[in-house]
Structure 1
Amino acid sequence: MAPNTASLSNDRAAMRVTIGDMAAALGLTKSTVSRALNGYPDISDNTKLRVKRMAEDLNYMPLSHAQAIKTGRTRSLGLVLQLSDHDAQRPFLAEFLAGVSAGASTEGYTLTVASADNDIHLIDTFRNLLRDGKADGFILPRAMVDDLRVSMFRDADVPFVLYGRQDNDTGCAWFDVRGEDAMHDAVRHLANLGHSRIGFINGGTIYNYAGLRRDGFVRGMAASGLNFAPELVIEDAMTPEDGARIGARLLDLPNRLTAIVCAVDRVALGVYKAAEERGMKVGTDLSVVAYDGIHEGAHAQPPLTTYSVDNRQAGARLATLLIRRIGGEPPEALRETVAATFLERGSTGPAPQSAHT
């Protein structure tokens, strides 16, 4: 039987549609409609879809304050940005926030954003948001090796989702881009161009991604039949200045390498400077591959070959996963990874002939 919406249509302009109105139209209890709207796992997907469509048809808008009192939820997602991060203000952040906001609003949630200056302030900020009931759960960008945020939310039984992964994955939901596969494929790309002596400049080892990307590089060397040389691997580089300094160190080695893989685009741009200072042309004398897909890389000379990350998509998926976690889905069912997109540009080319003589 089709829902009886006719009796409500004349009242829409005069009064707010209530859960009771929808329940009567659907032939369901108010409790079932409420639980369907809030994504509870004990409600079937078919019932959730019926309720969602009815809410759209009747232009149902919940009173967030009343809903928070009844359910203990604010329908808000929390995000705390640590301003001391090396690239906290960079353009990718705008894309990421736009994605999170879009993903939240699609499900009728809002986004609460706060900032912190350091690790201590970060934890205090989270505690204040929890105390004041500002968010139902939190998105945690930049998964760390020893992540105090994860420990805190586990202990408090607060829903969270990581942008990144954790080795100790108990209670962890996440969305991540497989940077380790990108590093593996970067080596394979260079090996196919004839490079055999390849350096690797990794990112900050406090972040969980660094270990994954290092492992990907090592796997790529093995898969290409190349000898792994520990002296050609240097870690904890995050800025162009780091890239210039470490690039100079690698390029000044007696047995000169012909290619460098960088775990971070901004570091690769510093390697460009080190190469230029030594009269080397990137893409001809030295090949460089990196990871992130920042705008500066596209405008470098030559444009940087890199593995691009869709931060807007990542933000949207993190919001969706967190809302599902808030709705009661187990974290083990909320783990997604995607591949980065390879952008082959001018910074890679065949190994110089002198490298084979």
Structure 2
Amino acid sequence: MVGGEDCATGLSLGHARSISSWPPPLARISRSEPNRMQRPTIKTIAQETGLSIATVSKALKHSPQVRPETRAIVVAAAERVGYELNMHGVQLRTGKTYQVAAIMTAPGPKQQEWEGVEYAQLLSGISWALEESPYRVSLYAVRSFEESLAAIRQIVSLKKADGIIVSGTHADDPRVRIMQEADFPFVTYGTTIHNDPHAYVDADNEQMIRRSVARLVERGHRRIALINPMSDLTYAVTRLDAYRHALEIAGLPFDPELVVHGRLTPAFGRESVLTMSRLPDPPTAYICANEASALGAFSGFHERGLVHGRDAVINATDDLNVSQYFAPPITTYFLPIHEPSELLGTYILRRMEGGSPESLQTLIMPKLIERSDDRVMPRG
């Protein structure tokens, strides 16, 4: 399918279990007796199980009114008789598409390969959460915030999906307003600041940065650099506010030369270190927003002749656990990407069932993994 001829590509992710939950289990059932003249129906399953036609119908539609053990009986009987669920007919009767649109910025051709790995794992987790439902994931790959905005307008106006999952939230996000005004079910991967309450899943960036700064201060650091995402993203704002607050609590001045914003690539991390390490009073610690920028920071260390643990240290946020293989391995706040991704899938199902947005809001605190002491070394 095409999610927008000039704005986004919609890809229906099917068949591979790790990528999609579509078609639902009953739609994939093949007939055990291919030469049977008459196609099995709901009535056939009712006769096979002794259940009422109404109960069988509800079980096939994943109705919450049917107990899991009853649905298991129906599924087993459907498999025995070779029942095939006519999803096209279900769509016509219900007016539903049975699709969840996942809108994500596609990695560019240069220096953004890391994002592709993260998006693949994110989609995998969402699909696992949808696996026992009749819904599938459709990926809308966009190249910019403007394209994601156009894609959402199209999906909402043409009802091309029953729910939307979107990432890369802004403090005041017009995409959120569009979906709220249309009363369209959605969940964001990331929070907003100025929008009305909505369903979301995110890392607890505020607590993570406060604790990270406090830990480094405790170890003697006074010049702590923040390598941050692009400034229009909500979590960049949250991280910066938490960083400034943590410095204030520690009695340290805020130095704008120790904060950089940009696309979190290895190249950005490298350039950030090359620039800040040349300051008259350079940082002794760098807090990177992801592993890609931390990898680039190591490259900057190498070019400048800096040694991790002697001249300065690098800490990072980590969702792929690759940083354990850095040489030396670095201290991170680790949040396995499957945790937020599976919650996103669970929450969009609840929103489509009518769950309130306020009851579907979760901040996950990443786990601190200390792989080095990170104490400041005396200079000179």
TM bin (shorter chain) = 0.7 to 0.9
Query: What CA distance in whole angstroms lies between the structure 2 residues aligned with 1:262 and 1:156?
Result: 38
Residue number among 227, 231, 255 corresponding to 2:256 in the alignment: 231
Partner AA of 1:66 in structure 2: G
* Residue 310 (structure 2) pairs with residue 310 (structure 1): no
From the superposition, tell whether residues 88 and 192 of structure 1 become closer, same or farther in structure 2 (CA, over 3 Å): closer
From the superposition, tell whether residues 301 and 320 of structure 1 become closer, same or farther in structure 2 (CA, over 3 Å): same
Superposition pairs of residues 278-357 of structure 1, within 5 angstroms: 278-294=304-320, 296-346=322-372, 349-354=374-379
User: Secondary structure, in 3 states, of the residue corresponding to 2:261?
Assistant: coil
* Residue in 2 that maps onto 1:68: 91
* Residue 209 (structure 2) pairs with residue 201 (structure 1): no
Q: Is contact 2:101–2:165 with CA below 8 Å preserved after alignment? A: yes
Q: Is contact 1:67–1:74 with CA below 8 Å preserved after alignment? A: no
From the superposition, tell whether residues 295 and 288 of structure 1 become closer, same or farther in structure 2 (CA, over 3 Å): same
* Residue in 2 that maps onto 1:4: none
* Residue 101 (structure 2) pairs with residue 78 (structure 1): yes
The sequence identity of aligned pairs, in percent, is 23
Residue number among 166, 169, 177 corresponding to 2:203 in the alignment: 177
Query: What CA distance in whole angstroms lies between the structure 1 residues aligned with 2:58 and 2:294?
Result: 53
Q: Is contact 2:331–2:370 with CA below 8 Å preserved after alignment? A: yes
Deviation of 1:76 after TM superposition, in Å, equals 1.9
Partner AA of 1:156 in structure 2: A
- TM-score using structure 2 length: 0.77
- TM-score using structure 1 length: 0.81
Superposition pairs of residues 1-357 of structure 1, within 5 angstroms: 15-17=40-42, 21=46, 33=58, 37-38=62-63, 48=65, 50=67, 52-59=68-75, 63-83=86-106, 86=112, 89-130=115-156, 133-223=159-249, 225-237=250-262, 238-294=264-320, 296-346=322-372, 349-354=374-379
Query: What CA distance in whole angstroms lies between the structure 2 residues aligned with 1:147 and 1:216?
Result: 21
Query: What CA distance in whole angstroms lies between the structure 1 residues aligned with 2:44 and 2:233?
Result: 45
Question: For 1:109-140, what per-residue CA distance to the aligned partner results, in whole angstroms no more than 9, with x for missing partners?
Answer: 21112222334433343344445544210101
Partner AA of 2:94 in structure 1: T
User: Secondary structure, in 3 states, of the residue corresponding to 1:201?
Assistant: strand
Instruction: Return 95-104 or 138-147, whichever deviates more.
Output: 138-147
Q: Is contact 2:62–2:133 with CA below 8 Å preserved after alignment? A: no
User: Secondary structure, in 3 states, of the residue corresponding to 1:213?
Assistant: helix
Deviation of 1:234 after TM superposition, in Å, equals 1.7
Q: Is contact 1:65–1:74 with CA below 8 Å preserved after alignment? A: no
C-alpha RMSD of the superposition: 3.1
Question: For 1:196-254, what per-residue CA distance to the aligned partner results, in whole angstroms no more than 9, with x for missing partners?
Answer: 2222221111211111111222333344x241322343231322222222222222222
Query: What CA distance in whole angstroms lies between the structure 2 residues aligned with 1:32 and 1:312?
Result: 33
Query: What CA distance in whole angstroms lies between the structure 2 residues aligned with 1:290 and 1:213?
Result: 13
From the superposition, tell whether residues 349 and 116 of structure 1 become closer, same or farther in structure 2 (CA, over 3 Å): closer
Question: For 1:284-322, what per-residue CA distance to the aligned partner results, in whole angstroms no more than 9, with x for missing partners?
Answer: 221111113445533322123221222122111101100
From the superposition, tell whether residues 325 and 31 of structure 1 become closer, same or farther in structure 2 (CA, over 3 Å): farther
Partner AA of 2:259 in structure 1: I
Q: Is contact 2:56–2:74 with CA below 8 Å preserved after alignment? A: no
Aligned residue pairs total 332
User: Secondary structure, in 3 states, of the residue corresponding to 2:187?
Assistant: strand
Query: What CA distance in whole angstroms lies between the structure 1 residues aligned with 2:210 and 2:325?
Result: 25
Query: What CA distance in whole angstroms lies between the structure 1 residues aligned with 2:196 and 2:327?
Result: 45
Instruction: Return 324-333 or 228-237, whichever deviates more.
Output: 228-237
Runs of 5+ consecutive residues of structure 1 not aligned to the other structure: 1-11, 40-47
From the superposition, tell whether residues 143 and 38 of structure 1 become closer, same or farther in structure 2 (CA, over 3 Å): farther
Q: Is contact 1:293–1:306 with CA below 8 Å preserved after alignment? A: no
From the superposition, tell whether residues 307 and 229 of structure 1 become closer, same or farther in structure 2 (CA, over 3 Å): same
Q: Is contact 1:38–1:327 with CA below 8 Å preserved after alignment? A: no
Query: What CA distance in whole angstroms lies between the structure 2 residues aligned with 1:335 and 1:205?
Result: 23
Query: What CA distance in whole angstroms lies between the structure 1 residues aligned with 2:258 and 2:161?
Result: 42
